[in-house]
Structure formats: C-alpha cells, structure tokens
Amino acid sequence: MSQSVLLLPGDGIGPEIVAEAEKVLHEVNDNFGLDLRFESGLVGGAAIDATGEPLPKKTMERAQKADAILLGAVGGPKWDHLEMALRPEKGLLGLRSGLELFANLRPAILYPQLASASSLKPEVVSGLDILIVRELTGGIYFGQPRGIRTLEGGERQGFNTYVYRESEIRRIGRVAFEAARQRNGRLCSVDKANVLEVTVLWREIMNDLAKEYPDVELSHMYVDNAAMQLVRAPKQFDVIVTGNMFGDILSDEAAMLTGSIGMLPSASMNAEKQGMFEPCHGSAPDIAGQGVANPLATILSVAMMLRYSLNAEEAARAIEAAVSKVLDQGLRTADIMSPDGRRVGTSEMGQAVLAAL
C-alpha cells in the first residue's frame, strides 16, 4: 500500500540539506519499489514569511495525514525579534505536540572513519553506538503552572513544574525496552531519584516494566553521573532512556562525542509509528546559502524514517552503507574535514551518496 512522506525543509540550511535527502529518498523509492508519495509544506520562518504563522493549518493537516515527515531545521536571526508564540521554533513544538510525538530517538554513532573528529581520545569513542530515548512531550518543559510572578515586596520569581504521569513514563519506557531488545539488550534509565519525587516514580515504573522484558538488563543512573560517564567511558551504554530535560542535555552531549552534529539523525515517534525525522542540528544560519552544510544527518534521518515508520529496513541499511562508503572514499564536508580528506560541498556529498547507492 502506498505510503506518504511530507517534506518540510524549513529555514537556513534546511532547504539545502533536505534537497539532497529528497534525491536519496527518490532513489530508494525506485530501487526498492517502495511506492511512496511525496508532498511538501511550509514550517518555521519560511511559513511565517509566507503566512504570518510558524505552523500554518495546511501544514498541520498534511502532517496529520502523512505516514512520515522529513524536517530540515527551523529558526534564524531574522525571526528572533518575534514574540515567543510566533517564533519559528513554535512550528516544531506544534508538530511534536499536535502529532503526540512523545518518543525522541537519537543515535550517537561514531563512524570509525571519523574517530579523529571527536574531541575525546579515539580509543574512548571509536565504535561508539548509543541510542538515547528521550521523552519529548512531557516533563518540566510542558508542566503547569509555569511563569514569572511578582512576589509580595516586588521581587520577581520564575517557576516551572516538573510532572510526569505514570502512563507517560510507561509508554516511553516501552519504546526504550523494545529498542534495547533489538540492540544489545542493555537499558540505562537516567533520573535524579535522590532529589526529585517525579523521578522516584519514573524509577519505580521502569523497574515494573523490566518484569515484562526479562531479556533486557535494566540499570539506573543519576543524571549528574550519566553526564560524567558519557565523557569518561561512553561505550558502557547501549540504550539510555530519560525525561525531556535530561534527554535534551544528554543527547547533545552524546552528539558531540561523535565530533560533528552534522552527522546525527533523529526520530520523533508517536504510538501509531508515525514519525518526524530530522537532523539533530539547527538551521546553521552562519553557513546557510553557501552550499557547504553537511547533508549526511538528514540523509541518515531518511534511513531512520524507512526503518521506524515506513517498514523498509533493507532500504534503510542501503542508505547507511552508502554513507559509510562515501566516508571511506575520503569525502568530507567542512565540519568533518580531516587532513587526508577531500573537501566537498552539500550537493557533491549528496551526489556521492546517490552514486554509492
């Protein structure tokens, strides 16, 4: 049965990198007979410029109907002066909450060819392959009440609320246990159960879920220790599951272990396996329009899309193998440049992946 993909290039380098990923998607569509249909839409600053809002109704309607969404990136200095509710980032948050994309999967993989790009010693990171599962629609980023109030006496106080319902913990836990089961069978749940009651509950639910997954080895770690262990001995981890805020921070830290944020894809999934796939990086306004951005994170996001939403594992692997092949050939965009590499731009990198496919 035909499946549909919505392309949302967004802002900055978004259109440049999505253009390359789109070519790869068309190629595997033909090669593997996937019968995909494509649509595109506006989101972020591009949507603000055209319609006045970061997530136009038409885009949301198309997103709801799509089986999978490929997003470039949103945001940039042009829209920074706008009030919070009208900023490009609201488009992204609106898609995440509107589609209930509660599970964010972020692999941090260090290709052996890029071991020297990491700021850590090659022996510490070489062969690194971690998956961080971050809860994306709850926790302190969404908890109510929140705000800035003026106390008696005139001093102002900012406040947020860290809340998780049992069902929210259970559903993200399941995603993580399932992922661990398909990988090396080890899951580390990260919390701050020594200080925060909400994560005492988190730990309790994870322990409860573990009874359903006897083949997965569950461990727990406090977030401060996890931040330290990620730079001390990152290869001890297989799958990490954590809440929204801790996941936000730890997944960026894990991303940097690999040396370039330009290499890392991500997936945000809902309970129906509908997903939004995007590179971990932002719109990189400093290099937008120059044709130098690394398209590989977006191309690898296409691989995640095929694996997690479109049930096309073989095509996903073909893309990952093609990316590895172009790295073997020594092709490098500026962000992953090494002394022995051959420097290429965005479209040359995209073409090389197509050729390797």
Provide the annotated active-site residues: 141, 192, 224, 248, 252
Please identify, among the stretches 69-77, 93-101, 185-193, 315-323, the one whose residues bind ligand NAD according to the rule CB under 6 A.
Answer: 69-77
Name the minimum Å distance from CB 335 to ligand NAD.
4
Q: Which residue among 41, 56, 75, 234 contacts ligand NAD (CB under 6 A)?
A: 75
- Other beta carbons within 10 angstroms of residue 241's beta carbon come to 30
Burial class (CB in 10 A: 0-12, 13-18, 19+), 162: middle
d(CA 267, CA 279): 9
Q: Which residue among 264, 293, 322, 331 contacts ligand NAD (CB under 6 A)?
A: 293
Main-chain phi, psi angles of 29, to 5 degrees: -60, -45
Exposure string of 296-323, with b = 16+ CB inside 10 Å and e = fewer, is bbbbbbbbbbbbbbbebeebbebbbebb
Contact between 267 and ligand NAD per CB under 6 A = no
d(CA 132, CA 250): 8
Nearer to ligand NAD, 176 or 349 (CB): 349
Please report, as residue ranges, which positions from 2 to 21 form the binding site for ligand NAD (by CB under 6 A).
13, 17
Please identify, among the stretches 59-67, 181-189, 240-248, 292-300, the one whose residues bind ligand NAD according to the rule CB under 6 A.
Answer: 292-300
Name the minimum Å distance from CB 349 to ligand NAD.
10
Contact between 48 and ligand NAD per CB under 6 A = no
Contact between 93 and ligand NAD per CB under 6 A = no
d(CA 139, CA 144): 10
Main-chain phi, psi angles of 137, to 5 degrees: -120, 10
Q: Please give the size of the binding site for ligand NAD, defined by CB under 6 A.
A: 23
Name the minimum Å distance from CB 48 to ligand NAD.
12
What is the contact mask toward ligand NAD in residues 329 to 348, using x (rule: CB under 6 A)?
Answer: ----x-x-------------
Nearer to ligand NAD, 17 or 327 (CB): 17
- Other beta carbons within 10 angstroms of residue 278's beta carbon come to 28
Tokens of 323: 């990316």
Q: Spell out the alpha helix ranges (H) of 142-282.
A: 166-182, 197-210, 223-232, 244-257
Q: Which residues bind ligand NAD (CB under 6 A)?
A: 13, 17, 73-76, 89, 92, 261-262, 278, 281-287, 293-294, 297, 333, 335
